[in-house]
Structure 1
Amino acid sequence: MALKLRVHVPPHPLIKHWLGVTRDEATPSVLFRSAMTELGRWLTYEAIREWLPTIDTTVQTPLAPCPATFVNPETPIAIVPILRAGLALMEGAQALLPLASIYHIGMVRDEETLEATCYVNKLPSQFAPETRVLISEPMLATGGTLIAVMAELVQRGVDPALVRIISVVTAPPALQKLGGLYPDLTIFTATIDEGLNDKGFIVPGLGDAGDRTFGT
């Protein structure tokens, strides 16, 4: 049976709250950054359910032995923020995955052709086959940037089935393209918007996530 792209929109009230803060054009940059950090935290919380391998053991409480379950510290985990906007979600994600390695990749989109070009790549030459990868990318509009990043990861041995993507706002064109190329991906997003305008921006969206995060 063919696998299908899995897109989750968690109904958590805090995700809805912070999404509303980021959408509001009156939100100042300092509050926008805080909202993105919180969205990174809560989307990561949802994304890592049943994703992190655990080990069962026994611990000694002050009173008696007791079964306990821990996240397996030997499982390699990587967070890949897509520069620059992906940095806005990374702080919240890293707070929940403190042992994860951070690998940066920088992509810029040509506003005329909408093609993505890589300007910095700090990915390792090879990932261990069992590596879990969490990608932070606030906006999935045309899908070009994420498709380029996925190609780099797969080339380095990453299994798309072990990848989780956290995104604040997504649009159908990106989801359709990703589903066609990587049907076993899983995406966690705060919302799926109706579509794109003639410049490739998500509508209603939240504007340019990078500019609003860094006040530029």
Structure 2
Amino acid sequence: MEGVTVIDHPLVQHKLTIMRDKETSTASFRRLLREISTLLCYEVTRNLDLTTVEIETPMATIDAPTLEGKKLVFASILRAGNGLLEGMLDLVPAARVAHIGIYRDHETLQPVEYYFKAPENLADRLVIVVDPMLATANSAIAAIEKLKERGARNIRFLCLLAAPEGIERFRAGHPDVPVFTASIDSHLNEKGYIVPGLGDAGDRMYGTK
């Protein structure tokens, strides 16, 4: 699909299979989510801009590569997005963090916003929005609209699983935002859940129903 990158690294796919298993415990699910998010972060940041800085090694002075521009922003769609956020911060601890509180009304499947907090100067930063699922895409579309209202211009969306229906709606709403995912699953069911999926990521991560 145009604008969508499937991260098919063997370790990503292996860990995702374990996470899908309904017998996987809450503790194991949480640990695997942190591990897989580090691998996903590696891929979604693969083409960051670099510049050089002069440093001295124990042997010589060199112009060495370093990241260019302002610190990245990781924008977590609460609550499940925090599971991806933690592993990504392990890899990029200097990143700034935005929190976007949006939940899906289970009757209407529409997003309900309750919280938004983001760093300043979003226009000058790459913003990576994270949420384990791109299902109906309603929450993701609303979150990115909010970030754009605050000035964000360079945005990427990262998720574990995506449904074809969600990708289609997301790309129609934000064609300028590339999607990175570990899997494009079969479809959405009548309740808006991804099939075969892995259930509700937030519930499985936090042991709630």
- Range class of TM-score, shorter chain: over 0.9
Aligned-partner residue type, residue 21 of structure 1:
I
TM-score normalised over the length of structure 2: 0.94
* CA deviation vs aligned residue, 1:71-125 (integer Å, no higher than 9, x gap): 13x513211111110011111111122111111111111111100101121235x
- 2:123 corresponds in structure 1 to 129
- 1:182 corresponds in structure 2 to 174
Gap regions ≥5 residues in structure 2: none
What is the number of equivalent residue pairs in this alignment?
208
* CA deviation vs aligned residue, 1:118-146 (integer Å, no higher than 9, x gap): 1121235x534221111110000000000
Offset at 1:5? Answer: 5.0
- 2:57 corresponds in structure 1 to 61
Q: Identity percentage over the alignment?
A: 39
From 149, 165, 170, the counterpart of 2:143:
149
Gap regions ≥5 residues in structure 1: none
From 19, 23, 26, the counterpart of 2:23:
26
> Is 2:109 aligned against 1:117?
no
Q: How does 1:25-174 map to 2 (within 5 A)?
A: 25-51=22-48, 53-72=49-68, 74-124=69-119, 127-159=121-153, 162-174=154-166
TM-score normalised over the length of structure 1: 0.91
Q: In 1, Cα distance between the equivalents of 2:117 and 2:63?
A: 40
Q: In 1, Cα distance between the equivalents of 2:85 and 2:75?
A: 8
Q: In 2, Cα distance between the equivalents of 1:202 and 1:63?
A: 54
Q: In 2, Cα distance between the equivalents of 1:105 and 1:128?
A: 14
RMSD of the TM alignment (CA)?
1.5
8 Å CA contact 1:143, 1:174 repeated in 2: yes
Evaluate the alpha carbon distance shift between residue 29 and residue 48 of structure 1 in structure 2; reply closer, same or farther with a 3 A threshold. same
Q: Match of 2:124, SS?
A: coil
